[in-house]
Structure 1
């Protein structure tokens, strides 16, 4: 089994991380608890050790399912979860304030049925809370023994630097990881975020490796997302940001990349998801790839794909096809096509 250290730390994690967004305790969950527990057991039995969840996944029931599934194997697992997202209507029930994070951590520990979390992550940035307050609160969690390591998710390069400087100024615990959207159609992090992570000691955990399903061929050019699909649900949200994300994801040039992935897969006599996952696993900046299988069959396919070796000329061809998704910084901002 291939393990690597996470960022500038001694924590060893598998190169594949099991994402559990689809796991829930209700029968309507994309992956109900019985199948979720089979997936977790198969993942651990295969020698992998890294599992990621969040307090908002399936209304918190993802944490409950994960906690029950790993209770008898807790020492084998590097358990990661996240806090920051809204947990109610109150003004202090969201964000990265000490008030909210303290409650969020205690609730996650209860749902997970554990007395410590290996990697506790800030799920989203919070521009209204000073970085010093957030990092001091997180450092207190580490000093209390309730958290071992700290990470962040969806932070900009500037946000990463600000947080690491705040931890340094307060002699606190820095971040060792970043979760970022990264795939053949989402390469914007290469411009500024990957260099910042390298400089400030963060390992990168890549989520949405199949471009929300586009690289797997789930969506067709010029056709609206199928009713009930994740993109259809996001497109129906009142949030302008959600709708803009869907519109950007379904851009023509992204379908061009998906077509090239499908063509490569046909030539290599494999599948488009295999090509996309194999390309991502080869990227030197990536510590671990987060996969989100809904069944044990999908898990087996994901693991096989990440072990697939792409010929160097094929990798170069895919790089050339998808490089246009990264544009130069403009006024300090990076843009994803």
Structure 2
């Protein structure tokens, strides 16, 4: 496994991270989920990402239980706050009240004294940015959080947060967690260059486009049974990818990967990691074998010629935006 600094911080995380969205605490049985965490750790993956909103805390509980087997200082644990965790008016968002209360709740579910990376899951237009940043800074000062990050904030929102944080002399935000893969590239226009300028690293989610970039879905063929797309509980974000124009190009990418002697998922992950502003690509897995295959992507180096071929295949769908 290779490791990269997270933005301008001194924190080093594995190029492949393990996430728990739509899997742990939801679609994957508890013991299988723990086996996936064990396999990831054995392969050198030290970055584990979850969120309080993933099945209302169930994913945090599974991840925390699995990681208890290892020394706390040997891994980087990330979670998030923003989405509703109850029906009350203060059970959501980025108010000081919600951030503080949910941090305590996450610590209990995770079974730890501190969170390495605490991320604002989305931007909250209803709360003053100063209030949100001050709450995060206080958590860092208290030692309950080591670093603060964000997820899916726009370039303008990132700039505002960085500048206000400097004015207030707060601990800096060090990361952003956006969607990024061969089919969804919006961050390349503004978010990536702004983040690199301001010192934020990207820990990207859905690098395999919900499994589309594994090659399991074929143009003109029915959705395979047992896959995420066949599960009505988890397929709401994948449906928009299931178009023949998208799947035809995915087939071309798979043919290219086969010619290179690697899997399509390894090609897709190596493509994401070609970006110097990306610190880690967060994969999801329902079986340990998937993690073992994906982790090999860190060994793949893409030549300029291969990148040109990929750009040619993707040219007509660069503006594709899925529902997620």
Determine if the TM-score, normalized by the shorter chain, exceeds 0.5: yes
Go from structure 1 to structure 2 and tell me whether the alpha carbon gap of 1:24 and 1:46 turns closer, same or farther (over 3 Å shift).
closer
Q: 1: distance between equivalents of 2:274 and 2:136? A: 32
Go from structure 1 to structure 2 and tell me whether the alpha carbon gap of 1:318 and 1:336 turns closer, same or farther (over 3 Å shift).
same
SS at match of 1:81: strand
* Contact 1:16–1:288 under 8 Å retained in 2: yes
User: Stretches of 4+ moved more than 4 A in 1?
Assistant: 222-232, 234-237, 323-327
* Contact 1:293–1:302 under 8 Å retained in 2: no
In structure 2, the partner of 1:332 is: none
* Contact 1:187–1:325 under 8 Å retained in 2: no
In structure 1, the partner of 2:297 is: 305
SS at match of 2:204: strand
Q: 2: distance between equivalents of 1:71 and 1:250? A: 39
Alpha-carbon offset, residue 167 of structure 1: 1.3
Q: TM-score, normalised by structure 2?
A: 0.90
Task: Compare the two structures and name the one with the higher strand fraction.
Answer: 1
Gaps of 5+ in 2: none
Residues 199-250 of structure 1, C-alpha deviation per residue, up to 9 Å, x if partnerless? 111001121111112222333446675687545638986xxxx6xx843x34
Q: 1: distance between equivalents of 2:146 and 2:100? A: 15
* Contact 2:253–2:313 under 8 Å retained in 1: no
Structure with higher RCO (Cα < 8 A, 6+ apart): 2
Alpha-carbon offset, residue 17 of structure 1: 0.8
Residues 130-162 of structure 1, C-alpha deviation per residue, up to 9 Å, x if partnerless? 111110111111111100001111111111112
Gaps of 5+ in 1: 328-334
Alpha-carbon offset, residue 194 of structure 1: 0.5
The within-5 A match list for 1:47-66 is 47-66=44-63
Q: 2: distance between equivalents of 1:45 and 1:230? A: 26
Equivalences, count: 320
Go from structure 1 to structure 2 and tell me whether the alpha carbon gap of 1:12 and 1:35 turns closer, same or farther (over 3 Å shift).
same
* Contact 2:207–2:269 under 8 Å retained in 1: yes
Go from structure 1 to structure 2 and tell me whether the alpha carbon gap of 1:42 and 1:215 turns closer, same or farther (over 3 Å shift).
closer
57-66 or 146-155, which moves further after superposition?
57-66
Q: TM-score, normalised by structure 1?
A: 0.86
Q: 2: distance between equivalents of 1:147 and 1:286? A: 22
RMSD: 2.4
Go from structure 1 to structure 2 and tell me whether the alpha carbon gap of 1:230 and 1:157 turns closer, same or farther (over 3 Å shift).
farther
